[in-house]
Amino acid sequence: MEPTASLSTSEAAQGLQASSSAPSDSLATASLAAADGGEDSADEGAMSVEPAPWELQEDEALSQAFFASQQAKPLSAGLASGQRVKWNPGHYIALSRRDDASVIQALKEIQRFPQVKGLLLRYNWRQMEPRKGDYQFSGIDRDIQLARAYGKRVFIMVETKAFRAGVRAVPDYMHTGEYDGGAYKIRINAKSTLGSSDTYGENAALHNSKVRDRLIALTTALGRRYNANNSVEGVAFNETAMGRTLQPLSRKQTDAFFDNLAQVDTATRRAFPNTVVLQFVNFPAPYMPGLVENMIRSSVGVGGPDTFLNDHDLNRVTYPLYDRARGKVPIGPSVQPENYFARSHNGPHSPPSVKELHAFAQNRLHANYLFWSRTLIRPLMPYNQVLRMFQSEAFPRDGSGGLNSDCPSNLGACVKAL
């Protein structure tokens, strides 16, 4: 099975800048490359990039205009009314590698913990649709079968962003003018890979309506195949941050990008009426309130790529959106590799305990789901600490491992299985 895209070694090292007293070599390049992934997958669970400066700036007029545009959208009836929705809140482990050995190893590690419900696995759009309309879901089928064999469930993450140089974000047929090339380039400070000197990743060109329609076609096909599958707990989309574009998009293109993303979210919820749908959100600041407004109205859950305990921009822009979604739609933050080592983006080496991360997600972010990256960076080996926390006597023994298990009001009728 072809590995999914993940952060490069140098990118994943960003934000893990050690203080003078911290062991620098083990927290940066060498250990990241060796941390259960090697050259093809630098680290388990990495899936965020540093936002561009403009994405952190607030623009009240733009924010209000986009918010109003989402409120004005008519929503199709029946998105949540009376639907029975699979609802198994708790802890899930996020993997980058999906070869059978890695998936089986992760499942063995969590098999004895009933509060750890399964895995979040990433699937690159290009892999799922190698040719237009030709959907290849055999890898997903195999992963679901493995999870079911261990009594666990799967979150399917649809990746529309490539975090490594040389990896493509969208199918090859979209690399034409009809789709605006299918993707735009983002600077990720990556090392060269695949024999290329390029140091950029890609993000799907969702400002193009034809790209939007093809993504909706993909998630519609996924819904036909997996909505009724009790081993599929949910489907998720990667972060909203657009990244440092090689060629900046215009204001009109950016408006279209987030309007189209909102349409994709709504259409995917319609394709998965009995399944949790999550959109991971963080930036750009002006578009997030309007996007989350549409998500709440469409019963799409709020996820996130980072759980930082003391990040100024997330606390200012992103985390208040979790308050808005609380009790209405599912909430599912994730703990990324950087979150184990620092308390803010690009912060000094100051590892929080995994108990602190759990408490923050539980109490500040109101999490129903919590996705833990399977990160094994020496010397901290944080994922081993996560497993020890699951095993400890102090870990909550309720069904969701201390997370909020109440059925969100906008979701429908929550059931363990259909």
402 pLDDT exceeds 60?
Answer: yes
Question: How many CB atoms sit inside 10 A of residue 101's CB?
Answer: 8
pLDDT digits (tens, 9 = 90+) for 13-30: 333 333 333 333 333 333
Mean pLDDT of 182-199: 65
Report how far residue 335's alpha carbon sits from residue 349's, in angstroms, rounded to the nearest whole number: 16
388 pLDDT exceeds 80?
Answer: yes
pLDDT band at 336 (very low <50, low <70, confident <90, very high): very high
pTM here is 0.89
pLDDT at 200: 82
Of 411, 144, 141, 403, the residue nearest 276 (C-alpha): 411
64 pLDDT exceeds 70?
Answer: yes
Judge residue 135's burial from the number of C-beta atoms within 10 Å of its C-beta, 0-12 exposed, 13-18 middle, 19 or more buried.
middle
pLDDT at 188: 74
Give the side-chain half-sphere CA count within 13 A for 137. Answer: 17
Listed in sequence order, the residues at least 6 apart from 267 whose beta carbon sits closer than 8 Å to its beta carbon are 216, 219, 220
Homologous superfamily of domain range 9-415: Glycosidases (3.20.20.80)
Listed by start position, the domains of the chain span 9-415
pLDDT at 96: 82
pLDDT at 50: 77
pLDDT at 77: 60
pLDDT at 163: 79
60 pLDDT exceeds 50?
Answer: yes
pLDDT band at 8 (very low <50, low <70, confident <90, very high): very low
Tokens at residue 54, please?
């403009």
Mean pLDDT of the chain: 87
Question: How many CB atoms sit inside 10 A of residue 326's CB?
Answer: 17
pLDDT band at 189 (very low <50, low <70, confident <90, very high): low
Of 351, 329, 366, 377, the residue nearest 45 (C-alpha): 377
223 pLDDT exceeds 60?
Answer: yes
Question: How many CB atoms sit inside 10 A of residue 21's CB?
Answer: 7
